Structure 1
Amino acid sequence: MKIKKVNIAKLVGKGYKDYWRFKGRYRVCKGSRASKKSKTTALYYITKLMQYPEANLLVVRKVFGTLRDSCYKELKWAIHQLGVDNYWDSTTNPLEITYIPTGQKIYFRGFDDPLKITSITVDVGVLCWCWIEEAYEITDENSFNMLDESIRGKVPDGLFKQITMTFNPWNEHHWIKQRFFDAKDKDILSKTTNYLCNEFLDDADKKVFETMKKNNPRRYKVAGLGDWGIVDGLVYENWEEKEFNIDTIIEQRNIKSAFGMDFGYTNDPSTLFCGLVDEASKEIYVFDEVYKHGMSNEKLYREVNGKGYSKEHITADSASPKDIDHLRELGLRNIKGSRKGKDSVNNGIQYIQDYRIIIHPNCVNFLTEISNYTWDKDKFGNKINKPIDDFNHLMDAMRYALEEFIKGEVFSFD
């Protein structure tokens, strides 16, 4: 092998010295957007795998299907940044990355198939490291315990077992806070980072946060500074996360499908709510979602069509009639705009509040939104009868989807 010198400190930048050096059991980093936490972690693991020839890495997210466009890409980016492309081989079927000189591997798994997490056997060395990206999505602490217990056994001298968790800190009531941030344990490194330690941002990047600080200080505290999100006064408290078989639900009498779409692009995501409604039992089953940024109408159509929903009746935000017409031309023949009327979003919210909402664990973005969608406050800190303009993209899409079930006058869904 050729010897290649890389200045790791220069490549990583500031803010992560303790994170890089820590060898305890749990390394937990909450951070704002653009805080370098994911890229730093990717650089760390590629570097350390080449330094420790008996180490292997398991990368986990709640839903396996989200790994290819997140951690897998970040690790490939890190390989390229380090200039060691020739020494690594990556495949998508199976989703793996292999260090060619030794045969060490990076495995990818999802909590949606727990048996595949606990049944990994390595060909070379030991499985000693685990990276849980977007750990906030793991709402069930028992799922984490199962993974924690699977990283066990003796490791060679000089090696160490470690679980790394990276996430955005949306909710102060999450079990991660009490377990890792409130506890004092020498085997835990818990830290907070934000965009201010990212010297690689340009002026345009920084302006996004300065604008957020001015216009949306509540969001800036979390998405800008990396502080815990304070959740007070949830709009919907009538929900639960629960596994269910969609085919079994569909077989029930009087079950109707409901699809709603909200438009976005750069700052806001384009979303599709996919639900089943039982009016008699007053239950809404949330079984799938689309939640992506930077989606042109063509890409949005391909996403919906690829999921098999192009023939469904979709109710979309009527504030974007050109987008609706274009999507209809592309192939979403049954898409229509939401109704307009005198009232506001509260009519839709009040209707949905009468239902029990059962959310499939795979709908991670819906779970994030509904657990952070709160009533807004006035300048004196008093709650007002209006939801916040945040965590509302799938919430709006749900209201659009359910408008045909709402009896009475025509309402506005703006």
Structure 2
Amino acid sequence: MISLKINKEIVHLPSLVGKRYGTFWNFKGRYRVVKGGRGSKKSYTTALYFITKIMELPESNLLVVRKVFDTHRGSTFAQLKIAMERLKVSHLWKCTTSPMEMTYLPTGQKIIFRGLDDPLKITSVTVEAGYLCWAWFEEMYQVENEDDFNKIDMSIRGAVPKHLFKQITCTFNPWSETHWLNDRFFKGGTENREDLINKGLAIHKNSKDILAMTTNFRANEFLDEADLEVFKNMEEQDPRRFEVEGNGNWGICEGTVYYRWEIKEFNINELIRSGRFETCLGLDFGFTNDPTAFVANLVDIVNKEIYIFDEHYQKGMFNEDIVKMIEYKGFTKSKITADSAEEKSIRWMKKNGLPRIKSSVKGPDSVIFGIQYLQGYKVYIHPKCKNFIVEIKNYIWATDKKTGKPLNKPIDDYNHLLDAWRYSVEDLAANKGIKVDKFKFI
């Protein structure tokens, strides 16, 4: 049995937490979702909450999730350790990085850390003492696929004692308003801008199951004059950035690569019957860290219009799964251009159900040439293609880290479906002056 030296110190919790987060602290419904600007103390408050509640409620355990596991160390893991220090209870916890977990020594309750980049580990989380009743998703906007969230949501299930409750907490900085988080938790709620400006916190929904709220730096009384001056200068010099990072509102990315697009309902059969379009299909391979991405679009070369009408976006797909997916969609006899980095997979698929699949052509400038070609079209995206919408909204030009100036290359993110999209129109681009033979296969 571990011998513990417990120092009895009085900690005034309201002084540590501060104001504005009372509704957040006391909510016990299924989903507690907070988007906020920088300096809004949302992560700080969440960390304090979980350390306090685990010590207060026996048998409770917490799963902390980020998109990439390695990012925990400098964020959630560090924030929770700071919370222990503020609460003066560090001596009651054992914190290890291999495995990454925190154990409350008097009872054995745990805080477990996982990343969505390891799907096998994330679906097999168990606890020895009590119940896994809570999950905390930090930087939730990075979770592009709603299905990844649903898998964790389903793992928080089963009966718990009356003194416990099951809950998913999501905290994130606002990003594109087309993110599935907006559709699922915020849309249909109230928009009280006055509260955001005056109090730094606005509650959009407060129902039995959902608390959705926005916070910003005005809710953080712990900021000093120098901190506030940063936000004042941002508001004056870069109002658009201030709306997102300051006020905590949904934003549109600066430096968007594709800008001539809109979400539009359309009848795919009517478009095909018009005879104006060529059907173009693209495939980008993924597995553990990245999803396999498949996109289908109709291209009107004469009128310079593209209609994105179907997509598939899923991690952990084997070659057999991809063939079955394409077969289910009815495209086995169609020409499909796939990422040439998986030449072995392409050859296997060609022999096992996709006779017209072919490798893309890559070279030093192939990405830029493909982007330039697609920029010449007006793009209409069917609302069901949610992942494509998220990517095209967030796909921006990279910037120089020192100067902040845009570079002539896009970021290496939000590009799985967009890469597949480029592959799909490769032959059309070649016919319009982009010489395929100038590229080298890689």
Q: Is the 8 A contact 1:130 1:164 kept in 2?
A: yes
C-alpha contact 1:172 1:231 (8 A) present in aligned 2: no
Q: CA deviation at 1:75?
A: 0.4
Task: For 2:18 and 2:71, locate their aligned partners in 1 and report how far apart those are by CA, in whole Å.
Answer: 27
Q: Aligned residue for 1:116?
A: 121
User: Out of 39, 47, 56, which is 1:51 matched to?
Assistant: 56
| Residue 84 of structure 1: aligned partner | 89
Q: How many pairs does the alignment contain?
A: 293
Partner of 1:146: 151
Per the TM alignment, residue 117 of structure 1 is displaced from its structure 2 partner at its CA by 1.5
What residue is the counterpart of 1:235 in the other structure?
A: 257
- Is the contact made by 1:282 and 1:355 (CA closer than 8 Å) also made in structure 2? no
Answering whether residue 221 of structure 2 is matched by residue 202 of structure 1, we say: no
* Structure 2 residue ranges without an equivalent (≥5): 1-5, 189-204, 262-281, 290-338, 345-359, 376-388, 413-433, 436-442
Instruction: Quote the Cα distance in structure 1 between the aligned partners of 2:284 and 2:216.
Output: 30
Q: Is the 8 A contact 1:369 1:395 kept in 2?
A: no
Question: Match for 1:186 among 202, 208, 228?
Answer: 208
Alignment of 1:224 with 2:246, yes or no, is yes
Shift of 1:200: 1.0
Provide the residue aligned with 2:407 in structure 1: 396
Paired with 2:173 and 2:410, the residues of 1 have a C-alpha distance of 26
Q: Secondary structure at the match of 2:407?
A: helix
Shift in CA distance, 216/21, structure 1 to aligned 2, threshold 3 Å: same
Q: Distance in 1 between matches of 2:156 and 2:115?
A: 15
- One-letter identity of the residue aligned with 1:243: G
Q: Contact 1:369–1:394 at 8 Å: present in 2 too?
A: no
Using structure 1 for the length normalisation, give the TM-score.
0.63
In the TM superposition, 1:13-162 aligns within 5 A as: 13-162=18-167
State the shift of 1:371 in Å.
3.7
CA distance in 1, matches of 2:35, 2:84: 24
Question: Is contact 1:236-1:353 (8 Å) kept?
Answer: no
Alpha-carbon RMSD across the aligned residues, in angstroms, is 3.8
Distance 1:252 1:95, change over 3 A: same
- Contact 2:59–2:129 (CA under 8 A) maintained in structure 1: yes
Are 2:141 and 2:173, in contact at CA under 8 Å, matched by a contact in 1? Answer: yes
Q: Deviations over 1:365-412 (max 9, x none)?
A: xx999744679xxxxxxxxxxx9999x9696273699xxxx99xxxxx
- Superposition deviation, residue 148 in structure 1: 0.5
Contact 1:282/1:354 (CA < 8 Å) preserved in 2?
Answer: no
Q: Deviations over 1:195-217 (max 9, x none)?
A: 01111111111111111101110
**Alignment check: 8 A CA contact 2:176 2:252 kept:** yes
Greater mean deviation of Cα atoms: 85-94 or 225-234:
225-234
Distance between the aligned counterparts of 1:400 and 1:190, measured in 2?
A: 30
| Cα distance in 1 for residues equivalent to 2:245 and 2:215 | 11
In structure 2, the CA distance between the partners of 1:17 and 1:389, relative to structure 1 (3 Å rule), is farther
Between the aligned partners of 1:102 and 1:240, the Cα distance in structure 2 is 50
Q: 1:242 to 1:51 in 2, by over 3 A?
A: farther
Instruction: Give the AA of the match of 2:19.
Output: K
For 1:208 and 1:368, the matched residues in 2 are separated by 30
- Deviation, 1:350, is 6.6
**Equivalent position of 2:347 in the other structure:** none
Q: CA deviation at 1:170?
A: 1.1
SS of the residue corresponding to residue 35 of structure 1 reads: coil
Cα offset, 1:157, TM superposition: 1.2
Residue type at the aligned position of 2:61: N
Distance change (3 Å), C-alpha of 1:217 and 1:197: same
Q: 2-side partners of 1:191 and 1:16: how far apart? A: 10
Q: Secondary structure at the match of 1:91?
A: strand
Separation in 2 of the partners of 1:28 and 1:240? 34
Q: 1:114 to 1:399 in 2, by over 3 A?
A: closer
Question: 1:231–1:50: structure 2 CA closer, same or farther, 3 Å change rule?
Answer: same
Counterparts of 2:287 and 2:406 in 1: how far apart (Å)?
21
Q: Is the 8 A contact 2:139 2:173 kept in 1?
A: yes
Shift of 1:235: 1.9
Q: In 2, distance between residues paired with 1:400 and 1:149?
A: 33
Cα distance, 1:283 vs structure 2? 5.9
CA contact (8 A) 2:399 2:407 kept: no
1:353 and 2:389 matched: no
Task: Give runs of ≥4 in structure 1 deviating > 3 Å.
Answer: 230-234, 236-242, 248-253, 280-284, 349-356, 367-375, 387-390, 392-395, 397-401
- Structure 1 residue runs without a partner (length 5+): 254-276, 285-348, 357-366, 376-386, 408-414
SS in 1 for 2:223: coil
Measured after TM superposition, the shift of residue 48 of structure 1 is 0.4
Percent of matched pairs sharing the same residue: 52
Q: What residue is the counterpart of 2:200 in the other structure?
A: none
Contact 1:137 1:368 in 2 (8 A): no
State the shift of 1:252 in Å.
Answer: 5.3
Please give the alpha-carbon distance, in whole angstroms, between the structure 2 residues aligned to 1:164 and 1:355: 39
